[in-house]
Amino acid sequence: MRCIAVDDEPLALELMETYIAQVPGLDLLTTFTDAISAWGFLKKNQVDLVFLDIQMPDINGLQLAKSLDRKNPMVIFTTAYSKYAVEGFNVEAVDYLLKPFEFSRFMEAVNKARVQKALKDTIPPVEDDQAIYVKSDYQNVRIATRDIQYIEGFDDYIRIHVDTGKSIYTLMSLKSMLEKLPSTDFLRVHRSYIVPVKRIKRINNQQIQLGDKEIPIGKSYVDAVRTFLNIK
């Protein structure tokens, strides 16, 4: 686990360094004596765990923790006085160490962080939230790409079939539509059709089954489709 330690007091920081050095697998990247510098570092670097003093001059530890992304990195508060304990847990701290604390208590906190990290690593990342905007009825309409069933092309407009609500009609070509979409997720299969790759249920040389809808494959597209989907 990659960690940093933040404390305004030199001796307290020294103790964190000593403790962290004794734990295999815990990698101390650097230490900070103020929250502002730590914040700058956290914005630019991947850090799993922050040991964070609460009462510090300038910006305190709670303010720093609140400004961080909720899930990443994990925070273990270290503080001399329990006044902030409840608030500490409100910012989803892994643990809360009251100074002075022994190595065994420190290890307890580190182990909690390990369990949390293991859990976090096994949970698949949240479905992406990609979306495109198309002009329809003089407005820009947001369409989440994962909601798209398929896209049908006509002479000078296209129809986007979506899971929820009515189809969206917009004046553009399938070619320019394809350029808007994430290239790994959508495939042109016919002069008149674009399909989302993840929704393909069955495929042969003539057609693709998407849910209960069958889409024809254009003769000139067969080879490209088979290569894209790695079908021999």
What lies within 8 Å, CB to CB, of 110 at 6+ separation is: 23, 26, 49, 76
Closer by beta carbon to another protein, 98 or else 231: 98
CB 92 within 8 A of CB 69: no
Closer by beta carbon to another protein, 15 or else 143: 15
Tell me the per-residue interface mask from 78 to 117 with another protein, x by CB under 8 A, - otherwise.
--xx----------------xxx-----------------
Window contacting another protein (CB under 8 A); options: 54-62, 148-156, 184-192, 201-209:
54-62
Q: Which of 37, 145, 149, 173 binds another protein (CB under 8 A)?
A: 37
CB 178 within 8 A of CB 186: yes
Tell me the per-residue interface mask from 16 to 35 with another protein, x by CB under 8 A, - otherwise.
--x-------------xxxx
The DSSP line for 122-148 is: HSPPPPP--EEEEEETTEEEEEEGGGE
Surface-to-core class of residue 3, CB atoms within 10 Å of its CB (0-12 exposed, 13-18 middle, 19+ buried): buried
Q: Is 36 in the site for another protein (CB under 8 A)?
A: yes
Closer by beta carbon to another protein, 88 or else 153: 88
Q: Is 55 in the site for another protein (CB under 8 A)?
A: yes
For residue 107, what is the enclosing H or E element?
helix 103-122
- Residues in contact with another protein by the rule CB under 8 A: 8-12, 14-15, 18, 32-37, 55-60, 63, 80-81, 98-100
